Amino acid sequence: MILDFCALRFCADENLSDRIYWYRTDFPVQVGEWVLAPVGPNDRLQLARVERSLRAREEAAPYPLALIKQTAAKRDARRLLLPSGLSCRELGGVPYDRKHYTRYGVFLYAAAIPAEEDAAVLAEYGVCGRAVFEAAQAGASDKISAAEQTLSGAKGCVLLCGEAALPAAWLLLVSAGVSPSGAAEALGARGTEADLRARAEAAEWRERMRSQGKKLC
């Protein structure tokens, strides 16, 4: 089997920047591009520059294959466009301290509920559940309970969707350590962090979001 590899340099980490590290990649990369990749025993995402790229057979891998980790995504690859035209935003790839970024494939956010035609693309991405936050029903306890159950029991990526999902997504990012303004910008809501904070603090699901946000670290 032919595999794609890239040699990465983690320029922002003084403990790693003096050498390159080989990773597998399932998307095309070019020398000089920036990607996010897991580092250390906890696989926390860091930003790295591509120094080399290589396509080779398994037996010719540049490092023992069992020890090679896989890149997570290109920098700023945080949009998923659905067949209906609805755009989802990844909550992964957002910086939460000087050198670490939130994880991919944990939460997506969409401002509306996806159409039936979007189901196959979402499933291929790894979405296994939806937590729906509709403005007209934001205070209904049965709806809140359903959303919490989805968040608690999901084994893969969860899509937060609906008219009232924006403050929930914002609070997830803030709970992971992202700055309030950084979280708002990542969700395409720059300058609204005060409003988002007020809406999140008034919501019944705020404590659930705070605890779930740790999954992004």
CA distance 157 to 175: 18
Q: Could you tell me if 47 and 110 lie in one domain? A: no
| 162-190 pLDDT, tens digit each | 988 999 999 999 999 999 999 999 999 98
Among candidate residues 196, 205, 189, the one with its CA nearest the CA of residue 147: 205
Q: Could you tell me if 113 and 172 lie in one domain? A: yes
Residue 2's pLDDT band (cuts 50, 70, 90): very high
Q: Is 197 exposed, middle or buried (0-12, 13-18, 19+ CB in 10 A)?
A: middle
Residue 208's pLDDT band (cuts 50, 70, 90): confident
Q: Could you tell me if 60 and 111 lie in one domain? A: no
**Average pLDDT for residues 58-82, to the nearest whole number?**
93
- Supply φ then ψ for residue 46, to 5 degrees: -130, 160
| 14-67 pLDDT, tens digit each | 999 999 999 999 999 999 999 999 999 999 999 999 999 999 999 999 999 999
Q: Could you tell me if 199 and 93 lie in one domain? A: yes
Task: Give the residue numbers spanning the domain of 37.
Answer: 2-74
Residue 211 has pLDDT above 80, yes or no: yes
Q: Could you tell me if 145 and 52 lie in one domain? A: no
CA distance 80 to 92: 12
Q: Could you tell me if 204 and 99 lie in one domain? A: yes
